[in-house]
Amino acid sequence: MAENKMEQGKLSIHTENIFPIIKKWLYSEHDIFSRELISNAIDALNKRKIMDSDVKQEDLRVIVDIDKKNRTIKFIDYGIGMTADEVEKYINQIAFSSAEDFIEKYKDKQSNIIGHFGLGFYSSFMVSDKVTIDSLSYLEGAEPAFWECDGTTNYSSGKGKRKEPGTTVTLYLNKESNEYLDFTKMRELIEKYSNFTPFPIELEKKVINQKEALWNRKPKDVKEEEYKQFYKEVFHDYIDPMFWIHLNVDFPFNLKGILYFPKFRNQMEMQRGEVKLYCNNVFVADNLKEFVPEFLMTLRGGIDVPDIPLNVSRSFLQQDHNVRKISKYIIKKVADYLKDLYNEDRKKYEEYWEHLHHFIKFGALTEENFYDAAKDLIIYKTVGGEYVTLEEYKQKVKEQGTATEADNKDKKDNKKDQLKIYYTSDDDSQQSYIKMLKDAGKEVIIADNVIDNHLFQHFEMKMEDVSFVRIDSELDESLIDAEKKELVDQDDKTELDHLKETFEKAMDDKNITVKVKRLKNKEIPTLIVFNEGMRRMQEIQSFMKNTDKETDFLVYHDLVINAENPVVKKVLKLKSKGKEEEVKMICKYLHDLSMLEQKKLSGSRFNEFVKSTHKILSLI
C-alpha cells in the first residue's frame, strides 16, 4: 500500500486577508455555513445525476452527521466529487488572478462577499477551528483527494479515504459554536435554508427537508388541498389561508412563487408576515422589500428568483433593474387578483375585508402603483352594517339628496365644493352623534384604525371633491332646527346670548369656545366638537409616541349648548333665582358628561365628576 504523503502549501494571492474579512462581515449570519455547504452538495448531486447514467437514485442524497464527542459536523454527499487537481483549482486558488484587487476593494466596506469567487465554502471557518475535505471523483480510475486547513493560509493535501464518489466536508467546531452540535438547531437550519432542495437531506437518519416547493409546478397541476397543506407545513399555521396567488413568469425575468393571504386572529399577527426569497430553491432572506413592497409583508409565501446570487446584497438589489421590474410585477399581480375577487364575488370580498383592509390601505398610502387599483377596492362598513366604497357613499348621498357642501368661498385655491364623508372612529362611545346624523338622514362610515387618518388625508389630496369629517369634529347644519334658526325675535337672541355668557363664566377656560344652537334632538344637552385637523394631529402623535411630553391638542374644542334641552333651560331658571354655585356646578358637569362620552376623563378629573354627580342628584 502506497504511503499517503501530505503536501504542505499556502493559499494563493494574499488570501491571508480572506478569513478575517469573512469572520468580521458574516459573524451575525454565521448560520449560513450550513446553507453554503448543503448548496455545494446539492450542486454536486445535480451534476452527478446529469453526467453519470449509472448513479443510483438512493445515492442522490446529503447526509449531515453530528458527532458530539469529537465536536464535528460532517456534510456528506454522493455527488460528482473532485480530483486532486479540482481541489487545487476550486479550493486553493480561491480568487484566481483578480483576488488581490477584489480583497483590496472590499476589505473596509460592509459588503457581503460570500458567494463571490467560490468563497461560499469558506463560511465554514466561521464556526470551525479546522476543516477537512475528503473527495472522490465519479470519473473512472480517480483517486480520493484530501485537503485540510485550520483557518490560516496554511493547508495540507494528499490522498483521501473516500470509497464512493462524492465529498465529505468535516467541520471541527470552535468553542463558540457548541449550539451546532444540537440536533434541533441543525434541523432548524436545514428547514430554514434548504427545505426545498431537490434531493433528501438526512440528519440522524431522518429526512428533514420538504423536498418540493409548489411554486415549481404549474398552477393548473396543483390541487387546492396541496396549497393549503403546503402553507400549514411551511408557516406552521393550523388555519387555512383565505386564498393565494401563484406567480409564474419566464420573461422578461425568471420568477416563481406563491403569496398566501392569511386569516389574522389579532393585530400582532398582521406584523408577522413572512415572504421568503429563494434562489434555485435555496433560502436567501426574509422580507426583502426591494422585491416585495413593505405593504405586502403581512402576507406569507415564497418567491424564487434564480438570477440572483445566494448572498445577495442590498446594493446589488438597488442596482439591478430587474429587481424593480419584479417588484412592479408582484404589485400588479396582487392588485389584479383583488380586483377580480371584488368584481366576481363581492360578498366573499366583504367577508375577507377584516383580514385584508390593513395591507390594502397601507399599500394605497405607500405605493403609487398600487393606489390606482386599490382606491376602488377600499370599502368601509356603515353604522347600519352595509359595506360601501367611497364612490358608492358619494352616489348614495347624492341620491338621497343629503349632501352637505363645504364652504369654500374664502379659500384662495378656489377648489370646487366638497362632499363631506362622515365617519366614526368609535361607534360605541359616539352614539349621540351617530343618532343625530342618522335622524338627519346622514350616512356614517366606521373608520376605527389609526391608518384611516393617514389614508383620509391621502384621499383628500388625490380627490378634490371630498373631505372626511369625524362626526364629533363638526356640527352639521342639518342637525339644527331650521325653523328656529331663522328666528329674529329679540327675546330669542337674548336667551341664546344669556346661555353663552352663563356657560363661558362657569367654564372659565379660554381653550373652550362656547356655542349655543337649537338642535332638532332635544334630548342632548351639550356636545363636544373637536377641530378635525387638531384631532388628527393628536392621534398621529399618540401613534408615533416619539416625544417625552405629548401636546394635548384636544384641550381646544367647542362646547355646543343645545338651547332646546330641558336641563339647559333649567340652568337659566336657576340663574334667575341667583343660585350661582348650582349653575356653575351643572355647567361644568354637562361639559364633563360630554367629555366622558369621548372617553377623555381619567384620574382626579373622573373623581371630581363622580362627586359632582352625587351633588346634582341631591338637588332632585
Q: Considering only CA atoms, which of 188, 154, 186, 153 is closest in space to residue 171? A: 186
Considering the domain architecture, whether residues 73 and 198 belong to the same structural domain is answered as yes
The reported pLDDT for the residue numbered 412 is 42
Write out pLDDT tens, residues 437-486. 888 888 899 998 888 988 998 998 988 888 898 888 877 787 887 666 55
Confidence of residue 610 (pLDDT cuts 50, 70, 90): confident
Give the mean pLDDT of 14-38.
Answer: 66
Q: Considering only CA atoms, which of 558, 612, 562 is closest in space to residue 586? A: 612
Considering the domain architecture, whether residues 166 and 291 belong to the same structural domain is answered as no
The reported pLDDT for the residue numbered 266 is 57
DSSP 274-311: EEEEEETTEEEEE--TTTS-GGGGGSEEEEE-TTS-TT
Looking at per-residue pLDDT, the higher value among 540 and 477 belongs to 477
Considering the domain architecture, whether residues 448 and 576 belong to the same structural domain is answered as no
Q: Whole-angstrom Cα distance, residue 447 to residue 423?
A: 6
pLDDT at residue 519 is higher than 90: no
Q: Whole-angstrom Cα distance, residue 608 to residue 388?
A: 43
pLDDT at residue 190 is higher than 60: yes
Considering the domain architecture, whether residues 505 and 424 belong to the same structural domain is answered as no
556 domain residue, yes or no: yes
Give the mean pLDDT of 213-228.
Answer: 94
Domain end marker among 343, 363, 392: 343
Considering the domain architecture, whether residues 576 and 602 belong to the same structural domain is answered as yes
Confidence of residue 2 (pLDDT cuts 50, 70, 90): very low
Considering the domain architecture, whether residues 433 and 512 belong to the same structural domain is answered as no
538 domain residue, yes or no: no
Write out pLDDT tens, residues 123-145. 888 899 999 999 999 999 999 99
Segment among 35-44, 108-117, 365-374, 568-577 with least mean pLDDT: 108-117
432 domain residue, yes or no: yes
The reported pLDDT for the residue numbered 212 is 85
Considering its fold, how many domains does the chain have in total? 4
Q: Whole-angstrom Cα distance, residue 246 to residue 336?
A: 12
Considering the domain architecture, whether residues 54 and 192 belong to the same structural domain is answered as yes
431 burial type by CB count under 10 A (0-12 exposed, 13-18 middle, 19+ buried): middle
Q: Whole-angstrom Cα distance, residue 75 to residue 549?
A: 57
The reported pLDDT for the residue numbered 121 is 83
Specify whether the CB–CB gap between 442 and 476 falls below 8 A. Answer: yes
Write out pLDDT tens, residues 59-96. 999 999 999 999 999 999 999 999 999 888 878 765 33
The reported pLDDT for the residue numbered 466 is 86
Considering the domain architecture, whether residues 238 and 193 belong to the same structural domain is answered as no
140 domain residue, yes or no: yes
Write out pLDDT tens, residues 291-329. 888 888 888 999 998 887 666 655 566 667 778 888 889
What radius of gyration do the chain's Cα atoms show?
35
Confidence of residue 609 (pLDDT cuts 50, 70, 90): confident
Specify whether the CB–CB gap between 219 and 248 falls below 8 A. Answer: yes
Residue 503 sits in a domain of what CATH number? 1.20.120.790
Give the mean pLDDT of 27-55.
Answer: 87
- For 121, the domain range is 7-207
Segment among 10-19, 131-140, 543-552, 560-569 with least mean pLDDT: 10-19
Considering the domain architecture, whether residues 274 and 196 belong to the same structural domain is answered as no
357 domain residue, yes or no: no
pLDDT at residue 229 is higher than 90: yes
Considering the domain architecture, whether residues 332 and 396 belong to the same structural domain is answered as no
The reported pLDDT for the residue numbered 106 is 46
Give the mean pLDDT of 370-392.
Answer: 92
Considering the domain architecture, whether residues 305 and 385 belong to the same structural domain is answered as no
447 domain residue, yes or no: yes
Considering the domain architecture, whether residues 22 and 131 belong to the same structural domain is answered as yes
Q: What is the mean pLDDT of the chain?
A: 81
Q: What is the dihedral of CA 249, 251, 255, 259, to 10 degrees?
A: -40
Write out pLDDT tens, residues 522-538. 888 998 888 877 777 77
pLDDT at residue 518 is higher than 90: no
Other beta carbons less than 10 A from residue 332's beta carbon: 13
Question: Pairing state of beta strands 379-381 and 387-389?
Answer: antiparallel
Residue 113 sits in a domain of what CATH number? 3.30.565.10
Give the mean pLDDT of 37-54.
Answer: 91
